[in-house]
Amino acid sequence: MRALRETLLLVALAVVCPSISCDRPRVEGPGRSYEFIVLEVKGQSLSVEVAADAQARTLGLMHREHMDENKGMIFIFNVPSIQKFWMRNTLIALSIAFLDDSGRILQIEDMKPKDERRTVSKDKVRYVLEMNQGWFERHGVTVGDIFVDFQEKVARYRG
């Protein structure tokens, strides 16, 4: 029933958003956090939506048709573990970065829309960042780069 309500709301938003310049669905309630943090890496500033609870992490970027260039989503888990992501109901091609506790990028992978194969972290991580596909490459951000003041910016979301 909840999935049906979300689908109906997203359909309604598809009609409204073009006229009010929405860059993401304005979904109220479970699964959408509405909290953003600004992350910085190699002189690039990005605004990322925080997915720090189970519902927000499960819904992720599903059903969205567009995401602005310097926006993304950071998934925050309570404990480091091998993370597995897929693209079920995700319409945007994404690049995913797996980050250690210091905010260092350990791995970057590209993911295709609606692909249900798992993208798996090579290491146990607590943080996963999704951006538009190619964002890291376009901005010269690579494995080993570290986000500025990362611990301070994510501290309030850790369990």
Q: State residue 79's pLDDT score.
A: 95
pLDDT top residue among 9 and 52: 52
Whether 143 has a pLDDT exceeding 60, the answer reads yes
Which is it for the CA torsion 34, 56, 132, 136, positive or negative? positive
- Could you tell me if residue 77 is inside a domain? yes
Which CATH number does the domain housing residue 142 bear? Answer: 2.60.120.1140
pLDDT tens profile 13-26: 333 333 333 333 33
Whether 140 has a pLDDT exceeding 70, the answer reads yes
- Could you tell me if residue 25 is inside a domain? no
Note down the domain range covering 73.
31-157
Total domain count, the chain: 1
- Could you tell me if residue 80 is inside a domain? yes
- Starting at the edge strand found earlier in the chain, the sheet holding 105-111 runs 36-41, 44-51, 71-85, 119-132, 94-99, 105-111
| Nearest one of 59, 79, 55 to 158, comparing CA atoms | 79
- Could you tell me if residue 7 is inside a domain? no
Distance between CA atoms of residues 112 and 90, nearest Å: 9
Amino acid (1-letter code) at residue 90? T
- Could you tell me if residue 9 is inside a domain? no
How many residues are given for the chain? 159
pLDDT top residue among 7 and 109: 109
